Structure formats: structure tokens, C-alpha cells
Structure 1
């Protein structure tokens, strides 16, 4: 029996090999919309420290992100934002004033603004000690051991044992600092600090339904196929178009779909990552409606228009991801397909109107399930607070779906894709030069 050929093995033999790569999941029906929940119980204050006064923390017209809004709804009158850390004092003061002029004034009326975390610590009263620190500062200021870019290590030093929520990607520094990020991950893990990273697409009901189908049927993923086409016309931030500042669209933007791919496929064999790119100076890479003046960016730092990558997972499955800078208008076009024996699971439009298409054995037709009121931003905040409060006896009720170490591995994959595409471009240049 031990010498059976692979083609003769039972499906259960093959499927068992995929169990080790599975990641935590939540019953999708436990993910309750924000407007269907009640404020978490208790009368004591829940102190929160916000680091970063930008769009991710306080919202903008560009998207649904707004962490403060979700914390307000989860904690109600218990929420007390003890301080807001941001070097841009005027911006921080302005957003606080808006909050104080609204119905959530009780959460912000005593909030103080500081330029640095160290300034807050020096002026902090014992009653201001936070129960959670929310990091929404730009990624170039985190994920590193370098002074001034080591916010995680500062939090661990000043507030040992205090829970952290950190936005994604965990960094956009040089590739040489990835090991620093793994060191931070190990420090967080060894200290047993509760830490969640903002890969909110893991918290989609559709994503968790996909996980449920895979687990319920004891499936092993065979392939993941991801596509992300952004609406470049609406991207007016010059830094986004500059690889030296944003690390490029794969690292900074495509990270969500690289992360979802890993969530279903498991760990990636980094040595197998291959990629090709369409660059700004190639004929097909010309864009007609850019909102920035690319001539002000050094040619070597201009971003690719298309990056297409493939890789092997440790399980033997195959992954692929294509990122495209091509659409105009405002709406993006994003999809993730997951294949297993007899099954196709396709997630469409996860950012705006998540829709899941399911094809099962014995049926050539696809079942479509829509999730119109889902809010993964709230679900990730809600789960974090429930774990901090330790209010739920059921161990499956609340889980952190993206640990810091997991986020570092996604970061490592995005850098591997970027480097692979740059190597293939250099190889093409050398080939062309030799032919000339």
C-alpha cells in the first residue's frame, strides 16, 4: 500500500497534506454588520491610543476606511481616545475638532495631541494608559528596527502587554529590512502581545464562506488566481507613482491579494516566484489620464503598468497574481479564484460589493451569493476588542485572522514579486542589447 502511485492514492490521502497550511477562520454567520450590533457591555472606560491622523484613521472620500468610526460603534460611550500621535499637529487638531463637534464628543473631549509616542509617554498620567494602540501611520514609518521607524518596538517598550492593531502593509522600507520585520514579529509573539494586522479582506463574510466550504469538504487547494486592476485616474498621490517612496504597486496596493492568496494557498516557496512587467517606457505602457506629472519622478523609480507573477506553494499548489494599472474612472476590478478537486470559488469585487461564485461537483452551474451589507473593517475591529476583553467563552467566536508574522510573510512575497519582475526586465534588456 505504501508504494501506490500518486494516481492510485485516495483523495483523503492527498487532502490531508494541506491541513498544516490552513489558517484561522471564523464562522461567516458570526460576522454581524455594524448596524446590527449593540455597544459592548460594561461601564468602565476603554482607553485607546491612535497613532496617525490620516485617512485610514478618520476617513476620506476615497474609500470606506475609517478606524475611528468602527471603534466608536463597537465601544460606544466606553471609548476614550487618550491621545492622537501625529507630527502634523494642525491636521490632528482639526480632525479632533470635528469629532468634538459631533455626537461622539465624549470619546474625544479629553484627547491630547503629541508629535511622538515618547512625548505622550513623558506626559501621560496613570489613568491614560491605553488598552489598545492603533497604528495608522504611513508604512514607511513602521516595520523596521531603525530609530524613527520602529513604532512597534516603541509600543512594546513603553506599553508591554498592551494590544496593538497595525495597518498593512507592515512596511514599505528597503527589502534588506525584511529580516527586521521578522524580528519584530518574534518579539511580539514571545511577549504574548495581542496583535492584529489590517488585512481586512480576510474578515469578509465571502472569504470566510470560502474557508468554510474548503474545511467542511476537507479540500486541498490546487491553485489560486488573483487579479487586481486599479483605476489609476483617481490616484493623485505622487508618492504612489514613485517606487522609491511607495515601494511600488505590488508592495503597497497588491498586498491585499497576495495576502488572500496566501490565506488560501498556504506558505509560498519564495525560490519559485517568477514575474514579468510592462514598464512605463514600453509602447503598451503609455497612460493617457494620469493625475500626476510623472516627469518629476526619476525614470528608474517610475512604477510598472502591469506585473504578472506565478509561484509554487509549499503544498505543491500553484499561485498567480496580475496587477494592472489601466482603468480610468473610480471603480477598481478585482477577483480571486480558488480551485480544489471539483470546486471553484470565485470572489468578485471584494472592496465594494462582495460577490461569491461557487461551482461544486455534480453541477456545472455556478451558485452566486451576494453580501451587500458586509463591513470587514468593523469585523476586524470587533474581533480585536472581543479578544482584548476576553468576554466570549466560545473559542471560535473571535479570532485574529492576520498575525504580525503572517503579515511579514505577505510582505516578503510582494517584495519577491517586485524583484522577480525587475530581474526579468533586466534580462530582456540584456537580450535586446546583445541582439542589436
Structure 2
């Protein structure tokens, strides 16, 4: 994101629940994943089973979100510096899971959940726990906070190496109102002990609100759907960090579609990455990050679903350009890619198409191709008489759209938009004022559906490589 335009998490955690890590330099990737043998099973992730299909047969989160659109005004002020000062009141206790960059910021992009929490809650914020297996990393970020104007929020923060340690040793006089989870997805979204953070969390704190970064997991899709069902049954208020849904231009697009009673006919997403400065070896290794579709294109798959609705996963078709093909040679790979097993090296291009259950069609092109720093990212929405084109949503979002009777594109920009603040603010409002008090635009079960789509695209592209017999022996 920013500079390189997209979120990519980095770091090498040890283990979670038993060790919740978060050396996240860019949000969105899988820092350290299970062993290669674990990923063998991940590569055979299938379309939703009977369990997951239950989520497709009821009212969808998209429908629920659509009903709440009137509450999310694209003209509303979202920038932190334009907000009214936080009102005084009782302490709001937060436990932050992960001391990495998604929660505490970096020079690589705008993510920094703690910063938004501070501006939303002011002196009411009390970070009662910071869970991270690296005490050194945790103390370093706390030291920075304690030397700043937010000292009161962090002066009594206790570092815990694991969630289990927090549960055993926490101060019962300071019950958590919310958990902010920025730990690597390799250690959550699973049924397996040590990778089932959500299960442990709702069992120990049934009344706490939960924010979870995306992707929701690196494990099998059906296990992620099972976690979604568990969270739904538990009743905790949960929000997942697909922050692009909160962009004003995205909400303006929704508004145009709804006010004109339009049905989306097609979505077309394009994500062209600038790769030469992505010098993290694990990002180039599918056994570590699950590949660029699951890890990086997840935001655009999510936005596609946000507008197009539910995807018929059986309809997904995909092709990829791989590293071993003549057109797949890259001249400026900044890591020793030859040290990665050939079958685990990432594709250079992935092109996918699918059908939505409405009959609309969707497509995605993801490319590892540009040099420099700036990415090229766009999303087209086509409806009768209308064309809506979202450009550069990560850096300087702009909406270009045509309406019936006019061949020229109108341009919409919003100043001082901060979708990160909006998603933080809305979750806190739901926790304090009650469910539905502000739109939560990405529920956990909805995020799992995006996760399922990204895996289906990856699996279908790899199936084509094997079908053509061009890949390495173990591909």
C-alpha cells in the first residue's frame, strides 16, 4: 500500500495462542505459515462444503450491509483531524494482539490501528495488554508510545507472550472491551489447537468486541467457515479489516447503484504490482504467503464481491503465467528466488473469470510486472447505462462514472478520507452504543467468502498448469 500501494505483511512468528506474533510490515500477507506439508493440503482447498454453503443460502452480509448504506454517508467527515474531540468518560480497555506494523505503523503505508484508536477514544483508551511472543518488539513500540502524548493509554500496558498467558494473568478489574487482532493469519481461522485464536477468544471473553485483520486465515476454507459459524453463534461483535469498503468513493458507487435501482452486470478488477522493491523473500514463496492472489489481491476480490454479490465458485476459471515460462522471466526480482522451491515460486500473472449468482460476470487480472514504487489498481463496475471506474483506491481514490444521456465521465474525489479510521470508529460505536449503531461493512463470514474466492482462483490456475503439464514435477 502507499508507495508500493498494497498491504503485505512481513515477519517470522514462532507460534500462536502459544505464541501470537505480529512482525507485520505491511498488512495483508501471511508472515510465517505452517510447514510445507501443511500447505500441501491448503493447495487442495475445495469449494464450500455443506457447512460453508449454509452461509450462502441465508441473507448475505452484503444484503445486510446494503440495508445499512443510508447510515454510511459518503459525504460524512472521516478524517481524524476533522473529528470532534473525544468526549470524556469511562475507560475503554483494549487488548492488542500483535506488536507489528499493522497495529503500530511503519513508513511503508498508512496502516496503524493504535493511532486510530487513540484519536477515536482519546484519554479513555487504556491498552491493558499487548500480546506478542517477542517481548523486545513489544517493549520497543510501547516505549515510543510512552514518550508521546498518549502516555496515559500505555503507561500500564502489560506485555504477554501468548493469549493463554493473558487469560491466566490479566487483571480481572480491567475487563477488555475490545481485542484488536493483527497477528499473522497462519495462527487463526483454524480448528487446530494453537491456530484457533478466535475460538479461545470468544470462550474466554464472550462480551468483547473483536477486530480481525485480513485475510482471515491461511488454512482450509471449510475450517474458516466453521470459525465463522462459531463467531456467529457466540454473538461477539466482529469486524474484519477490508478497509476499502469504507472509502467514500466506494460508498458513492454504492449510492449511485442504489439510487438508480441498478443491477451490476459485470465487475472487472485490475491489480498491477510494482515488484522491484518487494525484497521480502517470504512474499515470493507460496509456502509462506499463499501466493499473491490469496495474500495481495484479496482486497480486490473483496471489492468485486461487495458490488457483484455472491460468487458461484464452481464457475471460476483461471490461468497464470508462471516463472518457468518464457514470458514469465522478470529482470528485477530483488530476492534470491532460486532458493525457493520451483513449485512454490509465485505466478507473474493471474487472470480469472467467474459468474455471480445473480448472473453477472466478474474478472480479475493480477500482475507482478511494474518497476518503481507505484502500483496500478482499478475496478470497473458495469450496469445498464452506467460505468463506474474506481482508480487508485489505496493512495488517491478517484471515481470516474458515466450516466445515461452523457458520453462524458464525471469525476468524484473526496478530501481527507480515512477508511482505516472509519472501520475503527464504527466498531467502537457498535461496542458502546449497541449492534447496528454504525455500519460494519465486513463481517467475518463475509470475509471468509472472499477468502474462499481467492483460494478458488489460485487452485484453478494451478490446475491449468498441471493439466498442460508445463510445471515442475511437484507443482
User: TM-score under structure 2 normalisation?
Assistant: 0.84
- Residues 259, 31 of structure 1: alpha-carbon distance in 2 compared, 3 angstrom cutoff: farther
Q: How far does residue 29 in structure 1 lie from its aligned partner after superposition?
A: 2.0
Q: Does 1:416 align with 2:456?
A: yes
Q: How far does residue 430 in structure 1 lie from its aligned partner after superposition?
A: 6.6
Q: Does 1:375 align with 2:415?
A: no
Q: How far does residue 40 in structure 1 lie from its aligned partner after superposition?
A: 3.5
Q: Does 1:279 align with 2:336?
A: no
Contact 1:38 1:74 (C-alpha < 8 Å) held by counterparts = no
Deviations 1:204-241 (A, max 9, x none): 00000000111111110000000111111121221111
Q: How far does residue 23 in structure 1 lie from its aligned partner after superposition?
A: 5.1
Q: Does 1:89 align with 2:135?
A: yes
Where do 1:328-367 residues align within 5 Å? 328-367=371-410
1:101 corresponds to which residue? 147
Q: Does 1:69 align with 2:115?
A: yes
How far apart are the structure 1 equivalents of 2:339 and 2:174? Answer: 45
1:201 corresponds to which residue? 244
How far apart are the structure 2 equivalents of 1:120 and 1:259? Answer: 33
Deviations 1:56-108 (A, max 9, x none): 01111111111000000000000000010011111111111110011111100
- Residues 387, 264 of structure 1: alpha-carbon distance in 2 compared, 3 angstrom cutoff: same
How far apart are the structure 2 equivalents of 1:391 and 1:420? Answer: 42
Judge which range, 333-342 or 367-376, deviates more: 367-376
Which of 153, 157, 166 is residue 199 of structure 2 equivalent to?
153
Q: Does 1:241 align with 2:287?
A: no
SS at match of 1:182: helix
Structure 1 residues without counterparts, runs of 5 or longer: 1-17
How far apart are the structure 2 equivalents of 1:276 and 1:345? Answer: 26
User: TM-score under structure 1 normalisation?
Assistant: 0.91
Higher helix content, 1 or 2: 1
Please tell me whether Structure 1 or Structure 2 has the larger radius of gyration of its CA atoms: 1
Contact 1:353 1:372 (C-alpha < 8 Å) held by counterparts = no
Q: How far does residue 39 in structure 1 lie from its aligned partner after superposition?
A: 3.6
SS at match of 2:195: coil
2:50 corresponds to which residue? none
How far apart are the structure 2 equivalents of 1:151 and 1:225? Answer: 35
- Residues 141, 228 of structure 1: alpha-carbon distance in 2 compared, 3 angstrom cutoff: same
Contact 1:226 1:257 (C-alpha < 8 Å) held by counterparts = yes
CA RMSD of aligned residues (A): 1.8
Where do 1:14-33 residues align within 5 Å? 22=63, 24=65, 25=69, 26-33=72-79
Deviations 1:137-167 (A, max 9, x none): 0111111111111111111111112110000
1:295 corresponds to which residue? 338
Structure 2 residues without counterparts, runs of 5 or longer: 1-58
How far apart are the structure 1 equivalents of 2:323 and 2:256? Answer: 41
Q: How far does residue 195 in structure 1 lie from its aligned partner after superposition?
A: 0.1
Which of 370, 377, 385 is residue 428 of structure 2 equivalent to?
385
How far apart are the structure 1 equivalents of 2:392 and 2:348? Answer: 21
1:310 corresponds to which residue? 353
How far apart are the structure 2 equivalents of 1:20 and 1:372? Answer: 29
1:8 corresponds to which residue? none
SS at match of 1:127: coil
Which of 87, 91, 106 is residue 41 of structure 1 equivalent to?
87
The count of corresponding residues between Structure 1 and Structure 2 is 409
Q: Does 1:125 align with 2:171?
A: yes
SS at match of 1:234: coil
1:185 corresponds to which residue? 228
Structure having greater relative contact order (Cα 8 Å, sep ≥ 6): 2
SS at match of 2:293: helix
How far apart are the structure 1 equivalents of 2:141 and 2:311? Answer: 41
SS at match of 1:270: strand
Which of 399, 403, 407 is residue 439 of structure 2 equivalent to?
399
SS at match of 2:362: strand
SS at match of 1:48: strand
SS at match of 2:114: helix
Deviations 1:225-262 (A, max 9, x none): 00111111121221111101110000000000000000
SS at match of 1:30: coil
Deviations 1:3-34 (A, max 9, x none): xxxxxxxxxxxxxxx99964513221235211
- Residues 19, 159 of structure 1: alpha-carbon distance in 2 compared, 3 angstrom cutoff: closer
How far apart are the structure 2 equivalents of 1:339 and 1:23? Answer: 22
Judge which range, 36-45 or 121-130, deviates more: 36-45
How far apart are the structure 2 equivalents of 1:201 and 1:410? Answer: 13
Contact 1:58 1:95 (C-alpha < 8 Å) held by counterparts = yes
